[in-house]
Structure 1
């Protein structure tokens, strides 16, 4: 009997067990890096994709469109106040449509020095269903808008709906991106292969994320805050093994910016901020910079070793 054919594989990285990796530290000497991924998103009216507060009816779906728009008009500003109050940096996962729709909001984050990362043109579309040339155009459009407004091109990318085609990592590397947040397969950064330059897979949460927690599982704001703190304190315990971890917290202002949820989020972030002497509260881009400058062979998939 012939053996079964091998399972299809993506070929982007090899298996690397957590146990046995080489330890390293973050810039402050700690082992836990924490970043906030704030999603600023704009949606088409009367068409396209979008999270739903309630089952959508025929278009135009005013209920769900207006609920999402609340985030840009109100919720994001309340979140900004909390970030300022606690002196917390953020990585903005930015739909480029926000530059035309809510320029004041983007400018407020720019004034704080927050990192701008690419997040497509709008979350009303998925790049995974596009032909390669059209997907490349989507990435180029989003990148060009950020470059024109900020003066520097984004280095990190999160696809709308975390949707990838088979060539997305290749297209991102060819467009000049250095890290992707699409692959949530690890608690520390790992290098990925592309048909061009290597791409760093930056841990991005699919659990400590208000969309799957609150929209998907219907958790309350208190349960989401408890999830954040349980994740944080368990990681502080785990990093005693010497291996560094990255903890991301994914936030969407139309969800977490509702007053009854903001109260719980503020409590959770306040507690994390009190541990600045133990953890590195930073941005995804700063994590990339540190990892990219580690000695060869420290991070799984290091292209300098594979050459």
Structure 2
């Protein structure tokens, strides 16, 4: 087993990045002189029947919890394809966060988004488990297994990773960097990409991923309505477009088909995303990988 180094034994400090106030940072542009980068993250996830973790529409009963399992399963059978049609209609690219077991559980699902040219991002094996509570070798094996499946199916390794349930151990950034990942999405601590230090002098880029503009915390946890969630997206976009005059910003929107693919939620979401798309000449509509690639290819200042 690889020894943990001082970075991962930092006690109460994560040791990944230093404090940096946004107003004190150098100002730069995204491609085309744009200042606001916007991406949509679509979470495509699979769950275990009769065991494991899973979001709940209503408090579940004894296993097998058919109510909640089938609600989530509906997302892969119906909701995801409604989301795809919406993205097609509005000409929106997507970062598709993929549980690797979906290739087996839902043949043709990931392929439908691949055909659009969407980015495929690693999202563990299944959302019935967390990686953050595993021993280091078990977590390394989880990352390796998911990565091998995505690489085989997509013909290239994924550049980015989001842990199932935003779960990380003390060594997750190190393991991802060592597995060849270029960026991660789990940390919601900034509105700009931030380089993380990893052990043995390495580094990995953190791309902002939303926890506010995310339908699980908003709709499932806080019980916001679909209209409330859509209004949040529009208000955040309008405000960030103004704020981006002073600094380049990243706005992500995190969606799950079993939640916002439902017809009564899809309608207000369509209106919100159409509002964003109507400003495409003022913003950079891209993917999380596009943002990471631009940072890596350019002399973008490191805000650490």
State the aligned residue count. 294
> What is residue 46 of structure 1 aligned with on the other side?
50
1:216 to 212, 221, 238: 221
Query: Of 199, 206, 209, which aligns to 1:201?
Result: 206
Give the corresponding residue for 1:305. none
Q: Name the TM-score, length of structure 2 as normaliser.
A: 0.95
Residue 268 (structure 1) aligned to one of 268, 272, 286: 272
- Which of 99, 123, 141 lines up with 2:145 in the alignment? 141
Give the corresponding residue for 1:191.
195
CA distance in 2, matches of 1:182, 1:7: 20
Q: How does 1:248-287 map to 2 (within 5 A)?
A: 248-287=252-291
Cα deviation for residue 239 of structure 1 reads 1.0
Paired with 1:289 and 1:114, the residues of 2 have a C-alpha distance of 15
| Aligned residue number for residue 124 of structure 1 | 128
Partner of 2:192: helix, strand, or coil? coil
**Runs of 4+ with deviation above 2 angstroms:** none
Cα deviation 1:88-119 (Å, max 9, x = unaligned): 00001100011111121111100000001100
Supply the distance in 2 between the matched residues of 1:110 and 1:17 (Cα, whole angstroms).
38
Q: How far has the Cα of 1:8 moved from its partner? A: 1.5
Query: Would the aligned equivalents of 1:221 and 1:265 in 2 still touch at CA under 8 Å?
Result: yes
**Equivalent of 1:231, from 227, 236, 258?**
236
Equivalent residue for 1:3? none
1:57 corresponds to which residue? Answer: 61
Whole-Å separation in 2 of the counterparts to 1:275 and 1:136: 42
Q: Distance in 1 between matches of 2:186 and 2:53?
A: 18
TM-score (norm 1): 0.94
Which of 25, 28, 34 is the equivalent residue of 1:30?
34
Distance 2:281 2:180 in 1: 34
Q: 5+ residue gaps in structure 2?
A: 1-9
Q: 1:19-69 CA distances to partner (integer Å, 9 max, x unpaired)?
A: 110011011211000000000000000000000011111100000000000
* Aligned counterpart in structure 2 of residue 299 of structure 1, from 261, 283, 302: 302
| Residue 174 (structure 1) aligned with residue 175 (structure 2) | no
The C-alpha deviation readout for 1:264-296, integer Å capped at 9, x for no partner, is 110001110010110000001110111112226
1:75 & 1:126 partners in 2: Cα distance?
A: 24
Deviation at 1:7, TM superposition (A): 7.4
User: Which whole-Å CA distance do the structure 2 matches of 1:100 and 1:291 have between them?
Assistant: 34
- Counterparts of 1:142 and 1:159 in 2: how far apart (Å)? 11
Residues 291, 299 of structure 1: 8 Å contact kept = no
Which of 72, 97, 101 matches 1:97? Answer: 101
